Amino acid sequence: MKLRNKTVVVTGAASGIGAEVARLARFEGATVIGMDRNAPGLTLDRFIAVDLSSTASIDAAIAALPQRVDALCNIAGVPGTANPTLLAQVNYLGLRYLTTGVLTRLPAGGAIVNIASILGADWPQRLDLHKQLAATEGFAAGQAWLDQHPVPDDSCYQYFKEALIVWTYVQSQKWFLERSVRMNSVAPGPVFTPILGDFVSMLGQERVQRDAGRMKRPAYADEVASVVTFLCSDDARWISGVNLPVDGGLASTFI
């Protein structure tokens, strides 16, 4: 059991990939603390309600954690059909704020795993902007930067998945060198989850049909969850600063 005696925090634990990560982590021996804005429909060792768009809610959730957690899995997110401000806050600013707050509770050997997306693959086209945003400290400073550099509503989801990948890249080695805490991201393609329909609406039928010919099928949530739990385990102790596609080879078809 790869996660025996480890305490793992999973955001977005009420459904989709987050729920599968929570189930698998418990099966692999972990004590799992789930976080979500919705009540979970599965067995957890503990549940903490949190709204990632609110720093007050995040602060309260962090205060409710034990003094030591061994891994943080940032799975929670809203789809591209959500309000753009909410999307920025939940998918990037709140995730980053929570992670920074939990960092001091992670021991040497601890792990952070962020859920990115194949839709963040164009991050090199906006690298300078993403690095500027990554350099801001705190929720408010990040929001102020975004106010000065507005993101088009129709590309918000992609933009903040790109930003998350870049933040993972630029921040991970600093924390690994200073604290021996690893941070990686996982980039799924389409996944059979409750919000899959939102992605169809966001991308449009033409894009969806075009991509459908490039892959066998969308992933099942457990196929992504197994990679997340691996990155939390000691088997991945020398993997840090990686963005790992888990997409059935979809990304490779764009080369």
**Which of 157, 159, 169, 220 is flagged as catalytic?**
157
pLDDT at 255: 85
Residue keyed to tokens 């998918």 = 91
Domain extents for the chain? 7-249
Is the confidence at residue 200, as pLDDT, over 70? no
| Local confidence band at 212 (pLDDT 50, 70, 90 cut-offs) | confident
Q: What is the mean pLDDT of residues 53-80?
A: 97
Q: Which CATH architecture has domain 7-249?
A: 3-Layer(aba) Sandwich (3.40)
Q: Would you state the pLDDT for residue 198?
A: 61
The CA-to-CA distance between both ends of the chain, in Å, stands at: 37
Tell me the whole-structure pTM to 2 decimals: 0.94
Question: What's the mean pLDDT in 28-36?
Answer: 98
Phi, psi of 198, deg, nearest 5:
-65, -35
Active site residue 220: no
Q: Does residue 182 have a pLDDT over 80? A: yes
- Residue 248 scores a pLDDT above 80: yes
Report pLDDT digits (tens) over 106-141: 999 999 999 999 999 999 999 999 999 999 999 999
